[in-house]
Chain A
Amino acid sequence: MKFPAHESAVRAALAAPSRRQLLRHLGAGFGTLGLTAVLADAGLLSAAEAPASLSPLAPKAPHFAPKAKRIIQLFMPGGPSQVDTFDYKPALAKNSGQRPSLVDRKSLRNTKGGLMPSPFGFKQYGKCGKWVSEIFPHVAGCVDDICFVHSMHTDTPEHASAILMMNLGHLQPTRPSMGSWLVYGLGSENRNLPGFVAMSPRAQPRGTLSNWGSSFLPGAYAGTYVNISQMKPDAVVAHLKNTGLKPDAQRQQVDLLAKLNRLHLERSEKDAQLEASIESMELAFRMQTAVPEVFDTSGETKNTLELYGPGEFAKGCLLARRMVEQGVRVVQLSHSIDGYDIAWDTGHDDIIKGHALLAKACDQGIAALLTDLKQRGLLDETLVLWGGEFGRAPTSEGAKGRDHDHYGFTVWMAGGGVKPGTNYGATDEFGLSATENRVHVRDLHATILHLMGLDHEKLTYRYSGRDYRLTDVAGSVVKGVLK
């Protein structure tokens, strides 16, 4: 079976037999010598690629030079309202209560309300003069670093399927998540940490595991989920701590097992998987200290801690920065308050109460993350993505609420190769449907992959008789957002 070069490399790293074959061609007797060293000595691997070659998470060359090396997705499940946040529509106030044909489209709950002006005040910010709602005062201060995409649209007005579309590119939970595709494509820069970390305070976003799962991709590419409310390193990586043995006693035991395994290796034959398991035991031993370090924010300066401010989401933002700093490839931080799995779905009854509260819980942390990344020179190579699975209609549901809107919504990106201080695409004058430069979720995926140095049509994996991709059979790179 022929695979693209990229996939072959992954399959080889995972499948012991082919690697074993390579080894055995070298002849006998490398005993306790490291496998990778042998391969490197034999000229079968360059010294640079040798050290991590056994791991499916070893860094891999992208298809072309990337603009972004890492991504932080700030996921807003539930559907934040575009016209109450970043898509300013003054026409709503002028036509309040009317239902022009332009907005007379079927919504999930078949609401028939008229246009409802945003209850929030908007002001212009930054050099670019971007209009932003009063509920995001901190993010408003960063607009000159942000590229707003106002013309997003998706396939369904239901939470679960639209969330999966945003995070997997498919309406059912049967495909790998975007993060797992990225780690499959690029590997991880830090082998002591997971390549993909998903976080949220309290509730996991609807769809749970599927949002960071690897489906048919090898399990090594699945995201590791962290509940920020618990914050125990042992909850991040299972069995990270040994509760029974002191470090030196554990060292002794690990050495014993390594010795026994090496004796087995020498006695039987060269076995790459066995060699890998000896290496992997060492790595595990190191992880026991590397992982808690990432989660220990006690070394952060007072200024930094104040910049992020209080709250669990802010803590998640700070952790996200620490992780990308350490080379974690993908961080997905989902918003949630009160343990609700579609937090932003508080807009049906009362847009003011729900949205104001949610924005307040994340605004400062998001702005701090952008500022902090920029100060550390990390923003250029880190792509930050903000958005939900769809938006909310400019018409009213009940007296004060808004129903789902999958015809048009806003996401924004910052850093990693996107044009700062710009808007891309537009909705109609009332903000219901994307009309100008429409961007489907799959186009967004193609663009993200492009920024990360991957061609969305070439990043494929053969499963069940065909080559799958994140973008299925669609998606085009949105050139207009690229720097």
Chain B
Amino acid sequence: MDWVLFMRIALAAVLVIGIATPSHADGPTAEQSAFFETKVRPLLSKRCYSCHSTSAKKSKGGLKLDSRESILKGGDSGPAVDLGKPARSLLLKAVKYDGLEMPPTGKLSVDEIEVLSKWVEMGVPWPETAVKPVVGLEVGVLTPERLKHWAFQPLQGTDPPIRTEADRKRQPIDRFIDSGLAVKGLKPGPAADRRTLIRRANLDLIGLPPNPEEVEAFVLDDSADAYPKLIEKLLASLHYGERWGRHWLDVARFSDGHGSFLDPAPLPEAWRYRDWVVKALNDDLPYDQFLKSQIAGDLIGDGKEVVATGFLAVGPTYQSDGGDPESVAKSKAETLDDRVDTVTRGLLALTVSCARCHDHKFDPIPQADYYSFAAVFNNTKTVDRSSATSEELKLVVEHKKSLDAVTAKLKNLSKDTEPERRKELESEVAKLKASAPPRVHAVEDAGSADMPLALRGDPLKPGVIIPRRFLAALAGPKPPTWTKGSGRLQLADAIASPTNSLTPRVMVNRVWQHHFGRPLVATPGNFGLLGEKPSHPQLLDWLSAKFVADGWSLKKLHRLIMLSDTYQRSSQFDAASFRIDGDNRYLWRMAPQRLEVEAWRDTILAVTGELDRTFGGASVHDILTSPRRTLYAAVSRNGDKLPADEFLRLFDFPSMRATVSERTSSTVPQQSLFLMNSPFMAARGKAFTARLLREAKTSDARIDRAYALLYGRTATADERETATAFLSAGKEAEMWPRYAQALLGSYELMQSR
């Protein structure tokens, strides 16, 4: 299909709609306008605007060619057009390579020079429209080069390679990976030992280490299905949703509110969305439905998944500080940007937000795409509402009536009389209160309007109205417009569509990233032209197609990956392989991974025996004084309002201001101070000591028990010697807690290998 042609036609249509009647009597005629729009503007846009426009990084020679005024004003060399002597205009001399040579990249064609000459002769007619600088309507960004980019292609159905007869029986993942290794002259490393494997699988799937008994049983079980059984057990564990739910909550930039001065609201019910995510993952809710519920749960079926729209509602909603109308408009624009960015970067790995002020600099994303999406969220409002469906809402009204009635009766009772009756009514009130449907932070439709493009991203300078529809690069030549309500349901359908190749690719890549510590596309939040190319493009597409064919089941995807030989490889270092592939891009081994703060802290509590495994519920105000899993910590969007913020951020918990695709993994002295001096670590040292004293009798046996609990292995001779030397330097009651705290602060405990 001829994309450029298609977009020219489509956008010309948009433009025609946007052209107002000339406001001045001496404005261009309809014929002149048409000539300008069809011939001149595309030419200027294509050949001149990269250097001479408002959207150019720097207008060369101080000259801008994107408005009549700036052409007449000219640049450093004087006016570009002389209306008195049009033929001698600098612009025409330059394009004819007479004195100046413009464009420097190559002379215009004879026809093109003719077009410009004719236009200058006419007196540079420039239709007065609302879209004066045409930024955002340029067809330039939907070029064949950009559209050819791998991420915009349909999934390529390549069969897993077969290099030897034995390959036929092997897992497709291993066939792709091993053939990649062979091309590079790499050899796959050995399989991991059982102790390493069970610890790896546990930390990976449920974020908690196996206990020593589980490790020993697994080591001794030499049946063929011991490992598959382990995976099944872990996938069935409710802790799975807690672990992988947190990965998703990073994408959803989830917090309990408390942003800065401009978005300060607490979100006391945000945890209900968090619990929904955890449950959805535990239930293996198909990923397409998982997404649809989060974008439009209130509009699907009877609306019972409304809590899922917390995905949108927990984002920042910026206010203004004093009601200055311009500031209000800018705050609103910033809120919309959060929604557009979270949905596009989080779900599609496209940086649509880069097209807020101008067409995307690198990707085939015109500015109009941004406002197609922004309008959907502009028609959506954030509400605190009951999580009940409309049917249930009727019951809620009834419920409120009966509650009011009973409360009134209770009031009317005199204090001393009828104690029995009083008790009865009180319990009725309590029961009614407990059965009230919970409140949730959710979204609702609030309109169905298209939105004007904001010139240079400034909401105070509206351009043409942009129809709501899916991204031009993905939607094909005739994108249906979204006109039903806000358009959210249609947006959700477009994103979670099996024909959209980006959605499954992005999620498969994220799943791979968390299993291997390195995604197949090294920029999981940017699949655009500036992102990295996939290390294994065929595997990515094969897995994505399989993911969709398997009913978008995440658990099937985990199973497939974890049962591969590739996943079960040892993390052992190999100098020869390292020389060829130091970054382990081709997966000749499993790379050791540093645990996220959640898994690390949960592991410490599991090792000391203090972990409270209660599921769900309201966020815990200060997680450092609680034995609950770290997932349940209340976190503020600003990272400075709640007690746990500082601790979490110290260990690379990201800022929840925007969707997060990757966490950093830093090593700073403040972390060491926490390990050495924090009350939390000191208390864990004591608790661990108490457990060791309880569970083993001799010093030697306690060291053994410690190593089994911590790392699922025995202490080496060196470690035992070091421990004994340390412990014997003082009183047992003093030295053991210090020793235990040091063990809990060890780097090995922060790692999965």
Q: Which A residues contact B (CB, under 8 angstroms)?
A: 1, 14, 16-18, 20-21, 24-25, 27-28, 54, 56, 108, 156-161, 164, 171-174, 206-210, 213, 215-216, 218-220, 237-245, 249-250, 252-254, 256-257, 259-261, 263-264, 267-271, 273-274, 276-277, 280-281, 283-285, 287-288, 462, 464-466, 473
B657–A465 contact, CB under 8 A?
Answer: no
Who on chain A is nearest to B334 by CB?
A172
Residues of B within 8 A of A250 (CB): 676
Roughly how many angstroms separate A208 CA and B649 CA in the complex, as a whole number? 16
Roughly how many angstroms separate A210 CA and B575 CA in the complex, as a whole number? 46
B670 at the interface (CB under 8 A from A): yes
A218–B666 contact, CB under 8 A?
Answer: yes
Residues of B within 8 A of A267 (CB): 716
B327–A161 contact, CB under 8 A?
Answer: yes
Q: Knowing that A160-B260, A160-B262, A250-B676 touch, tell me 13 more A-B residue pairs with CB under 8 angstroms.
A: A1-B532, A158-B327, A161-B331, A173-B638, A209-B260, A219-B649, A260-B742, A260-B746, A261-B748, A264-B748, A277-B747, A283-B672, A284-B672
CB distance from A480 to the nearest CB of B (A): 20
Roughly how many angstroms separate A38 CA and B78 CA in the complex, as a whole number? 61
CB<8 Å pairs between A and B, sample of 17: A16-B594, A16-B665, A21-B583, A24-B582, A25-B578, A54-B667, A156-B327, A156-B330, A172-B331, A220-B668, A242-B676, A257-B742, A260-B719, A273-B665, A273-B667, A277-B671, A281-B672
CB distance from B556 to the nearest CB of A (A): 30
A238–B672 contact, CB under 8 A?
Answer: no
CB distance from B361 to the nearest CB of A (A): 7
CB distance from B594 to the nearest CB of A (A): 7
Residues of B within 8 A of A249 (CB): 738
B745 at the interface (CB under 8 A from A): yes
A240–B677 contact, CB under 8 A?
Answer: yes
CB distance from B257 to the nearest CB of A (A): 14
B318–A239 contact, CB under 8 A?
Answer: no
Contact for B592 among A241, A253, A268, CB less than 8 A: A268
Contact for A28 among B321, B575, B591, CB less than 8 A: B575
- Interface residues as binary, B631-671 with A (CB distance below 8 Å gives 1, 0 otherwise): 00000001110000010011010010110000011111111
Contact for B746 among A156, A219, A242, A261, CB less than 8 A: A261
A159–B322 contact, CB under 8 A?
Answer: yes
Roughly how many angstroms separate A353 CA and B317 CA in the complex, as a whole number? 37
Residues of A within 8 A of B747 (CB): 261, 264, 274, 277
Q: Which B residues contact A (CB, under 8 angstroms)?
A: 57, 259-263, 318, 320-322, 324, 326-327, 330-331, 334, 341, 345, 351, 353-354, 361-363, 522-523, 525-526, 528, 530-532, 572-573, 575, 578-579, 582-583, 591-592, 594, 638-640, 646, 649-650, 652, 655, 657-658, 664-679, 682, 716, 718-719, 722, 726, 729, 738-739, 741-743, 745-748, 753
Residues of A within 8 A of B639 (CB): 209, 213
Sort A-B residue pairs by CB-CB distance and give the 9 closest, nearest first: A465-B351, A284-B672, A21-B582, A160-B321, A284-B669, A269-B573, A209-B640, A239-B677, A283-B669
Residues of A within 8 A of B262 (CB): 160-161, 164, 172-173, 207
Known contacts A161-B262, A267-B716, A280-B668; A171/B327 CB under 8 A: yes
Residues of B within 8 A of A263 (CB): 716, 718-719, 722
Who on chain B is nearest to A224 by CB?
B670
CB distance from B571 to the nearest CB of A (A): 8
Known contacts A174-B658, A464-B354; A219/B582 CB under 8 A: no
Residues of B within 8 A of A283 (CB): 669, 672
Residues of B within 8 A of A25 (CB): 578-579, 582
Who on chain A is nearest to B722 by CB?
A259
CB distance from A28 to the nearest CB of B (A): 7
Residues of A within 8 A of B664 (CB): 14, 218-219
Known contacts A219-B652, A284-B670; A253/B742 CB under 8 A: yes
Interface centre among B640, B673, B742 (most CB of A within 10 A): B673
CB distance from A296 to the nearest CB of B (A): 19
A238–B673 contact, CB under 8 A?
Answer: yes
A108–B324 contact, CB under 8 A?
Answer: yes
Who on chain A is nearest to B730 by CB?
A249
Residues of B within 8 A of A21 (CB): 582-583
CB distance from A444 to the nearest CB of B (A): 21
Residues of A within 8 A of B675 (CB): 257, 281
Interface centre among B591, B669, B674 (most CB of A within 10 A): B669
Contact for A280 among B669, B722, B726, B729, CB less than 8 A: B669
Contact for B666 among A56, A159, A164, CB less than 8 A: A56
CB distance from B530 to the nearest CB of A (A): 6
A239–B673 contact, CB under 8 A?
Answer: yes
B583–A18 contact, CB under 8 A?
Answer: yes
Roughly how many angstroms separate A283 CA and B638 CA in the complex, as a whole number? 28
Contact for B260 among A16, A207, A261, A273, CB less than 8 A: A207
Who on chain B is nearest to A22 by CB?
B582
Roughly how many angstroms separate A277 CA and B668 CA in the complex, as a whole number? 7
A239–B666 contact, CB under 8 A?
Answer: no
Roughly how many angstroms separate A161 CA and B260 CA in the complex, as a whole number? 11
Roughly how many angstroms separate A17 CA and B729 CA in the complex, as a whole number? 39
Roughly how many angstroms separate A108 CA and B263 CA in the complex, as a whole number? 21
Roughly how many angstroms separate A18 CA and B584 CA in the complex, as a whole number? 11
B318–A172 contact, CB under 8 A?
Answer: yes
CB distance from A475 to the nearest CB of B (A): 13
Interface centre among A239, A242, A283 (most CB of B within 10 A): A239
Residues of B within 8 A of A159 (CB): 321-322
A277–B672 contact, CB under 8 A?
Answer: yes
Roughly how many angstroms separate A206 CA and B264 CA in the complex, as a whole number? 12
Residues of A within 8 A of B753 (CB): 268
Who on chain B is nearest to A18 by CB?
B583
A465–B260 contact, CB under 8 A?
Answer: no
Roughly how many angstroms separate A350 CA and B388 CA in the complex, as a whole number? 53
Residues of B within 8 A of A215 (CB): 655, 657
B646–A220 contact, CB under 8 A?
Answer: no
A252–B726 contact, CB under 8 A?
Answer: yes
Who on chain B is nearest to A205 by CB?
B261
Residues of A within 8 A of B673 (CB): 237-240, 284, 287-288
Contact for B530 among A1, A17, A213, A260, CB less than 8 A: A1
Who on chain A is nearest to B636 by CB?
A209
Who on chain A is nearest to B737 by CB?
A244
Roughly how many angstroms separate A156 CA and B262 CA in the complex, as a whole number? 14
Known contacts A56-B666, A244-B682, A267-B716; A260/B261 CB under 8 A: no
B739–A207 contact, CB under 8 A?
Answer: no
CB distance from A203 to the nearest CB of B (A): 12
Roughly how many angstroms separate A242 CA and B670 CA in the complex, as a whole number? 13
Roughly how many angstroms separate A269 CA and B574 CA in the complex, as a whole number? 10
Contact for A210 among B638, B719, B722, CB less than 8 A: B638
Who on chain A is nearest to B522 by CB?
A1
CB distance from B306 to the nearest CB of A (A): 28
Known contacts A209-B639, A464-B353, A464-B526; A157/B672 CB under 8 A: no
Known contacts A173-B262, A259-B722; A239/B667 CB under 8 A: no
Residues of B within 8 A of A276 (CB): 667
Who on chain A is nearest to B335 by CB?
A172
Roughly how many angstroms separate A320 CA and B186 CA in the complex, as a whole number? 56
CB distance from B351 to the nearest CB of A (A): 3
Residues of B within 8 A of A241 (CB): 677
Residues of B within 8 A of A259 (CB): 722
Known contacts A250-B676, A284-B672; A256/B667 CB under 8 A: no
Who on chain B is nearest to A170 by CB?
B334
Known contacts A238-B673, A464-B525; A256/B722 CB under 8 A: yes
A17–B583 contact, CB under 8 A?
Answer: yes
Residues of B within 8 A of A16 (CB): 594, 665
Known contacts A173-B260, A206-B261, A242-B676; A273/B594 CB under 8 A: yes
